[in-house]
Structure 1
Amino acid sequence: MPMTPAPFPRAILLFLIAGLLTLGLAAPARAQSCTFSASNIVLGPVDVLGSSPTTATGNIAVNCSTFLGLLTSITVTIELGDGSAGLFGSLRRLGGPSGSSLAYDLYQNPTHTTIFGGSQGTHGGQPVVLTGSSVLSLLTTTGMNVPVYARIPGAQNAAVPGAYSATFSRQPLDVRATTETCRPVLGCDTRVTGFTFAVQAQVRPNCRVVADDLDFGQHGLLDRPVDATSQVRVTCTAGTSYSLGLGHGLQAAGIGGRQMRDLAGHRVGYQLYRDAARTQPWGLIADGLATTDAGTGVSRAVTVHGRVPPQPTPPPGAYSDTVVVTVTY
């Protein structure tokens, strides 16, 4: 007559299966081990008067634990929001002295065509997504570096000199790093973390100057005053104090002795003035005859009033002189 097996072995079998299931469920938690760190991005010095952009590159380092294993798949998604200074029009904003702003943005590529963004904040753009077997191998061995390309457009003339910055630290408003790992049978696990970095720029005081030629035209006898005007255009960063001076010329012995000459060495005396009445000679700071002003970030035109006084007429010819325009700031 057959014997009924004792229940003890069955109880042992159920206990072992339960133990195996418990060990399997713990594995994904151990696999989720990715860290993120980012370098600050330093732009500058920034020439806000010029049309050329200012660029710099930062880096986000991603490292994941080797516990992920060969059968694991991984997807890392990195998103960047607006930054602490918010937006400046359609671009991100760097905050500066007295509420001044610089527009800039962050990109995924060195040609600055793909904005580094995501679902965080209101800026938009695209997140960086790392996935695939080759990515998994790098993340769990040497780690990966994700470049961040920053660009400040040129011609932001309203920006005053000083330090500008924006930080990315508010999680998830500014930064969000999502790691999803999946293993056969055991399913997927997702973790969200963040990192911090700053974008910094320095705007330095700067001035640019363009001077037109002063042409007295063609004349016969110099028996009466010959007047002419030209312009000097000065552009300085907003709030930057400057002085504008005009030199004595190549032939002059001083302010009162400016002279034009021809190739044979003949000379014609002339003078430059700050006023239309031609009573205030123009000179250098050392002469006490320069003008002073403060920049606004836009070009300011200054009129140069020239006069050739009556004098003995030299032989016919082309007479000229060179005057150096000096802007001190």
Structure 2
Amino acid sequence: MRLTLASALACVTVALLAAAQPSLAQALSCSFSINNLNFGTVDSLSGAPARTSANLRASCNGLPNREVVICPNLGSGTGGAKPTTRSMNNSANILEYQLYSDPARLIPWGSYLWPYSPKPPEMNLTLDASGRGSISRQIYGEVFGGQTTAATGSYLSTFSGTHATFLYRYAPSSCYGAVTGSMVHPNFLVTATVAPNCLIATKDVDFGARGVLSSAVDATGQVAVTCTPNTSYTVSLSGGLSNGTPTARKMFKGKETVTYGLYKDPARSQPWGDASTPGSTMPGSGNGQTRYLPVYGRVRPQATPSAGVYTDTVVVTVTY
């Protein structure tokens, strides 16, 4: 009896091991790859957004013809996040952006592991007869326009560890139920570069209607300059159509002229010119805000030409 019982137990044990081996060989495993999101050079003074996208690819091995549910959680990244935005960092400076699950960039790509909404988009993959399968999805990014206070330089946010927690498991299941399954932490970067830039706008110097030019005639115009923070610049004014000196430009009506000057100060003692006249340009440093620079004009007493409209064109140049 003892020999017979031992033989039976041995047969049962061998059968159980043989049955377990295929199941272990077909355990579900998935790997993920994500391209870096590089926004390139961003014009922070423009009101237009900067956009890019990256490809997320999942490859899985498991039971033939089974459906796999993937929950790709993307959190704040090392740059941090607010309820409606994520951030890239450059020292103490930030550049705000967002990741989206749709090409219209209306639905942010979220995570079960952060306090904001919405949650991550669910990815569903059906394995083939050999137990293999792959699926891809785009991650859409947008840097918001009009971030005039973003300083020049390179910006970065890193997604790794808990910032990128991907869960996967066999169906039936859902990303909107209990957060369970096998866990993987893929890595990728979000990067952008804010380049130095300046915008200018002008208001004409209009001396109005005058009679005899027996006394000085003053008028004021304006140059508005907006430059990215930490951008040094100079504003120069050309010599006009006559290529005159800062205090001896000329307005024309045909061959007749009226001589005038442009200055940096209300006393009209500091001529405003270009690099051909050392010290006559206007220096500055950008902070993302618009700087309004008055242009002080003066027509000095001179022989009066015939009546009519006299004009000149002065080119404003911002060098940075």
Which residue in 2 is equivalent to 1:120? 113
TM-score (norm 1): 0.86
User: What residue ranges of structure 1 are gaps of 5+ in the alignment?
Assistant: 1-6, 184-188
Distance 2:206 2:23 in 1: 86
CA contact (8 A) 1:63 1:142 kept: yes
- 1:124-143 superposed matches below 5 A: 124-131=117-124, 133=126, 136-137=127-128, 143=134
Which residue in 1 is equivalent to 2:215? 224
Which residue in 2 is equivalent to 1:69? 64
CA-to-partner distance for each residue in 1:54-90, whole Å, 9 max, x for gaps? 111112111112x4202x2221111111111212563
Residue aligned with 1:150, SS:
strand
CA-to-partner distance for each residue in 1:168-192, whole Å, 9 max, x for gaps? 112xx21111111259xxxxx9311
Distance 2:183 2:18 in 1: 25
Which residue in 2 is equivalent to 1:50? 46
- Cα separation, partners in 2 of 1:138 and 1:39, compared to 1, 3 Å: farther
Which residue in 2 is equivalent to 1:272? 262
Number of residues paired by the alignment? 310
TM-score (norm 2): 0.88
- Cα separation, partners in 2 of 1:47 and 1:88, compared to 1, 3 Å: farther
Distance 1:156 1:19 in 2: 68
The one of 24, 27, 32 equivalent to 2:28 is 32
The one of 204, 216, 232 equivalent to 1:241 is 232
Distance 2:157 2:306 in 1: 67
User: What residue ranges of structure 2 are gaps of 5+ in the alignment?
Assistant: 173-179
Question: Cα offset for 1:142?
Answer: 6.2
Which residue in 2 is equivalent to 1:203? 194
Question: Cα offset for 1:14?
Answer: 10
Q: Which amino acid aligns with 1:303?
A: P
CA contact (8 A) 2:77 2:159 kept: yes
Distance 2:28 2:152 in 1: 46
CA contact (8 A) 2:64 2:132 kept: no
Q: CA RMSD in A?
A: 2.7
CA-to-partner distance for each residue in 1:134-176, whole Å, 9 max, x for gaps? xx45996662222111111111111111111010112xx2111
Distance 1:300 1:75 in 2: 55
- Cα separation, partners in 2 of 1:139 and 1:256, compared to 1, 3 Å: farther
Matched, 1:90 2:84: yes
CA contact (8 A) 1:81 1:120 kept: yes
Residue aligned with 1:285, SS:
coil
Distance 2:167 2:82 in 1: 28
